[in-house]
Amino acid sequence: MGHKVHPNGFRLGVYRNWEAKWFATDKEFKPLLLEDVRLRRMLMIRLKNAGLARIETERSSSALTITLHTAKPGIVIGKGGTSVDQLRDELEKITGKRVRVTIQEIKKPELSAQLVAENVAAQLEKRIAFRRAIKQSLMKTMRAGAQGVKIRVKGRLGGSEMARVEWNREGRVPLHTLKADIDFGQTEARTTFGRIGVSAWVYTGNFPTEAPPKPQAAVEEPVESGVPVGAAIAEAPAPLAELVQATVAAPVAPESPAAQVTAAVPAEAPAAKPKRTRTAKPTATTADGGEKPKRATRARTTAGEKATTPKTPRPRAPKKKE
């Protein structure tokens, strides 16, 4: 069996911050937690049509700050701010503390997973086919700039007697990647044949993990004999100018008379080496004084002669009988 983890809780404290920012001792923790749950339920019921996506609470010693992330801030504020004042009075009666309500507008409600799930649930309550509702929501979210979205519905879909699960996805939704900014939302659609659960995952990219580059500190130049190296190099003449000055400024020295005389007299050419001559070998003579006859060379037979001359059989020695 798969072990499913809540996407928001999986990234809590790593890339995502807490929705309830307060601290309490052991004795005060339980009543404050229950109070937080009651406030959230009351706000979700009262502001159901206002597109409420997220509620953040922050407590101090004597005050409570509630931040509402909504897609329709006009409904929350009301005419002249009357709705906000009534809401603040009710919250102060429940908590017994001074309550401050701040409203933040969601500019792209299609990228909020909670609002996407509520939109699908509202369509299911109007008896719209669940497949059509899922596909329309997927298309709207992807057009808004999401990199991936997944929607799942679970229950008696279409009024069938057997409950089942149907889901669809577009793009990529990397649930196991911690740095992936995945928003998760879930709600219920109350239909005539029972409740249908709706869950939505919206992937909008990765959290910024790279730190901004630090400005480079000024590097001090090394100083040699009290003068910076850069200044010394700037003051020094260019090597090309030095060469030009050396060639132009240097006068040509007059040649001495001894040098002129030696230059006028050409140097004697070196003596040529004598050529080596070959001496003829002495011919061998006999005792009478005549020349020794040369050794006769064996005439070589051509291939045609070899073929014409028959081979004489070689006589074999008779075998001795034992």
The CATH number covering residue 71 comes to: 3.30.300.20
Higher pLDDT, 303 or 193: 193
Give the total number of structural domains in the chain. Answer: 2
For residues 27 and 50, state if they share a domain: yes
The pLDDT of residue 62 is 84
Domain with 197, as residue range(s), is 110-206
Which amino acid would we find at residue 86?
A: Q
Instruction: Select from 58, 90, 107 the last residue of a domain.
Output: 107
The pLDDT of residue 167 is 95
Residue that is written with structure tokens 């045609």 in the block: 304
The pLDDT of residue 132 is 95
| Burial class (CB within 10 angstroms; exposed 0-12, middle 13-18, buried 19+) of 249 | exposed
What is the pLDDT confidence band of residue 273, given thresholds at 50, 70 and 90?
A: low
For residues 159 and 93, state if they share a domain: no
The pLDDT of residue 2 is 75
Instruction: Select from 53, 74, 107 the last residue of a domain.
Output: 107
For residues 96 and 120, state if they share a domain: no
- Kindly tell me if the per-residue pLDDT of 233 is higher than 80: no
Taking the C-alpha atoms of residue 258 and residue 107, their distance in angstroms, rounded to an integer, is 102
For residues 91 and 132, state if they share a domain: no
For residues 26 and 117, state if they share a domain: no
Q: What percent of the chain has pLDDT over 90?
A: 49
b vs e for 156-180, b when ≥16 Cβ sit within 10 Å of the residue's Cβ?
ebeeeeeeeeeeeebeebeeeeeeb
For residues 181 and 124, state if they share a domain: yes
Q: C-alpha 178: how far from its chain's center?
A: 16
SS3 letters across 246-281: HHHHCCCCCCCHHHHHHHHCCCCCCCCCCCCCCCCC
Instruction: Select from 107, 124, 149 the last residue of a domain.
Output: 107
Handedness of CA 44, 49, 52, 58 (dihedral sign): negative
**225 assigned to some structural domain:** no
pTM over 0.75: no
- Kindly tell me if the per-residue pLDDT of 261 is higher than 50: no
**60 assigned to some structural domain:** yes
The pLDDT of residue 136 is 94
User: Whole-number mean pLDDT of the chain?
Assistant: 80
What is the pLDDT confidence band of residue 258, given thresholds at 50, 70 and 90?
A: low
